[in-house]
Amino acid sequence: MNSLLVCIPALVFGFADVDPAVDARFEAIGKRYIEQFPALSPAGATVLGDHRYDGQLDDVSAQSRDKAVKFYSGVLADLRGIDRAKLSRANQVDFEILELSLRGDVWRLETLQDWAWNPLVYTELAGGSIYGLMAREFAPLSKRLEHVASRLEQFPRMLEQVRRTLVPKRVPPIHATTAVQQNKGVLSILANMVEPNVGQLAPAEQQRLRQALITARKAVDDHQKWLETELAPNAGGDFRLGAKLFDQKLPFTLQTPLSRQQIRDRAESELRRVRAEMYGIAKEVYRKKNPYTEFPAEPSKEFQQAIIRAGLELACKDVPPADLLVERAKESLVETADFIREKDLMTLPSDPLDIIIMPEFQRGVSTAYCDAPGALDKGQKTFYAVAPLPTDWNAGQIESYLREYNTRSLHNLTVHEAMPGHYVQLVISNRYPSTLRAVLSSGTFTEGWGCYAEQMMANEGYFHGDPLMLLVQRKWYLRAIANSILDQAIHVDGMNRDEANKLMIEETFQEEREAAGKWVRAQLTSTQLSTYFVGVQEHLDLRRDAEGRWGKEFTKRRYHDQVVSFGSPPVRFVRALMFDLEIPRIGE
């Protein structure tokens, strides 16, 4: 970039008006927020890396919710006393992120009220409160087990509060049945992560922990009985959020000014474009195997469909063994890292990464996830978790799943979740100097980066330049597009399962098991499924902008390293910081 242009924004956008005193006041507010909000959820604080409350378990009573609303509203009031225009550019970004997060927290507690109708909030809390203490070695084992005992002793109190808080007639049946399945997963954590380590404690501590295990198991069993006999039979809520709540929630999740209709229009346009691109790729694969085939100049949609399916069918025949998914994922991790280094695509961190079987209490929503250490637990392990196949599936269901997660798809999954996707990006994000920004990371930036990484790696020729890898990745992109359509179509427009299956299976080539799982996920969540498509669109737009601005100075390594260097704020803020542009307001 021309050095003259770099200095112009200081005059145009008033960067010289920064007031150190205003900056200091805002930073004091941010510091106070970071110091005080973890106390609202001790289990969440542990995951975040704040270990002051490791021996406490969340209070989910009405009094606790009132306390949270009062805290969030108080910080918002403090922010209203800050003149944003007098903040440094970095603090302007953090101001916008903090303000939106606080407004979202108040809205969730007062308007959405998921605490009254979503039992999955509490199954995640119960399991996560113990898993968070045992999964990472942030403190000596004896100290962590002491805190485990303390939390287990509080299980009866917390689960009793849960039963008083949930309103069965407001709980959607799908949420109730999923909670029935997930709640028992807490017991597997106790059996697999806690019990094997009891013998490492002194006798008195052993006795306390063993008694705490008995107490917690009974509490979980009692809660299981309530879920099965009271909640599930009486669950009468509607899982569909409705237009009003969906449109209110969307900006809090996406941190973008795009409206629901704008997202839908862009998604449907991309759906048509990507299907046409897939036809071009599949046509060449088909021509290579069938060189005398004549292709029509203007193929019908049915003809294109058949050719794309023929290409995807070749990829679906190359599947990993059902019992070796984690092992194959580990192999793909090595291959993706080697490719990134060979192509000099970006700088890779050396922080520890483990591929694990997904804990039972977290199954039933997604196939895989990246569990990065909290923003305050720098240097701890990241977990790339893969869900095992359910034991009650029949042969046809297993075949459907393996076709979806064929060898090339498994490599693409590793790209998204780990290398250079979530693992790389989140490890680097946690190193950003602003703890506030690391704590309040943008899910749209993060998921968008994962989807961008998929496209980038496939376009660079990952997997030996195989066109089937490119075809499979474009299918994954279709999944992201379909996610954003499903999200609003189900929760606002009343899309039913047959209509959803047509979009997933026919229009975007997903296998039956993937479609079945996504139907469940779309009912259990709202607005999150839009983060993938909106995020990748923003990342692709940003890269095109960088290529145009930097010209011959553009390199992939420079671009990728810089994009992830600002933490994980919404992409529009990354653009402003990268190109010395005015910092936008969150709603612009």
Report pLDDT digits (tens) over 330-382: 999 999 999 999 999 999 999 999 988 888 766 655 678 888 888 888 788 99
Q: What is the pLDDT of residue 12?
A: 36
514 near 404, Cβ under 8 Å? Answer: yes
Give me the residues paired with residue 59 across strands.
Answer: none
Q: What is the pLDDT of residue 378?
A: 78
Q: Look at residue 381 and give its three-state secondary structure.
A: coil
Amino acid at 171: V
Q: Residue 264: count other Cβ atoms within 10 Å of its Cβ.
A: 19
Residues 6+ apart with CB under 8 A from 303: 296
DSSP 423-485: HHHHHHHTTSS-HHHHHT--HHHHHHHHHHHHHHHHHTTTTTT-HHHHHHHHHHHHHHHHHHH
d(CA 177, CA 181): 7
22 and 132 in a single domain? The answer is: no
70 near 408, Cβ under 8 Å? Answer: no
Which residues does the chain have with pLDDT short of 50? 1-14
Final residue of a structural domain among 234, 259, 276: 234
* Tens digit of each residue's pLDDT (9 = 90 or more) over 269-286: 999 999 999 999 999 999
206 and 57 in a single domain? The answer is: no
b/e map 57-72, b = 16+ CB within 10 Å:
bbbbeeebbeebeebb
Q: What is the pLDDT of residue 362?
A: 67
426 near 382, Cβ under 8 Å? Answer: yes
Q: What is the pLDDT of residue 371?
A: 87
Q: What is the pLDDT of residue 380?
A: 86
Count of structural domains within the chain: 3
Q: What is the pLDDT of residue 193?
A: 94
202 and 144 in a single domain? The answer is: yes
In this structure, what token pair is assigned to residue 326?
């984690």
Final residue of a structural domain among 75, 92, 112: 112
Handedness of CA 466, 421, 587, 547 (dihedral sign): negative
- Residue 284 in domain: no
d(CA 446, CA 567): 10
- How far CA 315 is from CA of 16, 320, 466, 575, in Å, comes to 57, 11, 10, 37
- Residue 274 in domain: no
- Residue 360 in domain: yes
220 and 72 in a single domain? The answer is: no
458 and 553 in a single domain? The answer is: yes
- Residue 124 in domain: yes
279 near 309, Cβ under 8 Å? Answer: no
In angstroms, how far is CA 549 from the centroid of its own chain? 31
Q: Count CA atoms within 13 Å of residue 417 on its CB side.
A: 25
Sort strands 382-386 and 353-357 into parallel, antiparallel or unpaired: parallel
Measured between its terminal Cα atoms, the distance across the chain in Å is 26
In this structure, what token pair is assigned to residue 574?
């990354």
Q: Count CA atoms within 13 Å of residue 78 on its CB side.
A: 19
Q: Which of 359, 192, 504 is nearest to 495 (CA)?
A: 504
- Residue 258 in domain: no
Q: Residue 35: count other Cβ atoms within 10 Å of its Cβ.
A: 11
143 and 39 in a single domain? The answer is: no
Q: Residue 332: count other Cβ atoms within 10 Å of its Cβ.
A: 23
Q: What is the pLDDT of residue 17?
A: 85
90 and 132 in a single domain? The answer is: no
Helices (H), 120-202: 120-134, 141-153, 155-165, 173-183, 185-189
- Residue 293 in domain: no
d(CA 195, CA 553): 57
82 and 129 in a single domain? The answer is: no
- Residue 583 in domain: no
Q: What is the pLDDT of residue 588?
A: 58
Q: What is the pLDDT of residue 14?
A: 40
162 and 78 in a single domain? The answer is: no
383 near 359, Cβ under 8 Å? Answer: no
d(CA 260, CA 530): 10
228 and 346 in a single domain? The answer is: no
Q: Which domain holds residue 563?
A: 316-578
- Residue 11 in domain: no
519 and 470 in a single domain? The answer is: yes
Final residue of a structural domain among 234, 260, 277: 234
152 and 39 in a single domain? The answer is: no
Q: Which of 64, 49, 220, 44 is nearest to 129 (CA)?
A: 44
d(CA 37, CA 185): 28
Q: Look at residue 245 and give its three-state secondary structure.
A: helix
Q: What is the pLDDT of residue 376?
A: 86
Sheet of strand 353-357: strand arrangement: 353-357, 382-386, 368-371
